[in-house]
Amino acid sequence: MAGIARRRADRARIKKNRGYYWWGRRLVDDELGKVIDTPTPCSCWMCGNPRRRLKKDRLTIWEQRWFQEVDDES
């Protein structure tokens, strides 16, 4: 599969897997469309990105490498 067929198959697979994704209840078609593109429904401390609150403690590997390169240059 390539191109459009692959994207359609991927979207169908994600819809099937995330049927009960938000708070354990069955999602309707509109919500299923949203959950494909945006898995987290809000940005509260439970649903959102944990690095927003714990940014200093948890850097990505790329950020760690970048900080090492900056430190090495100075």
Q: Per the confidence metrics, is the pTM higher than 0.95?
A: no
The closest of 53, 52, 72 to 64, measured between CA atoms, is: 72
For the chain, which residues make up each domain, given as ranges? Answer: 1-41, 48-74
Q: Which residue has the tokens 């169908």?
A: 12
Q: What is the pLDDT along the chain (74 residues), one digit of tens a residue?
A: 679 999 999 988 988 888 777 777 788 888 888 888 877 777 777 777 776 776 666 777 888 888 888 877 66
Non-local CB neighbours of 52 within 8 Å, separated by 6+ positions: 43
pLDDT at 35 (0 to 100)? 82
The closest of 14, 59, 63, 19 to 37, measured between CA atoms, is: 14
Q: Read off φ and ψ for residue 31, nearest 5 degrees.
A: -70, -35
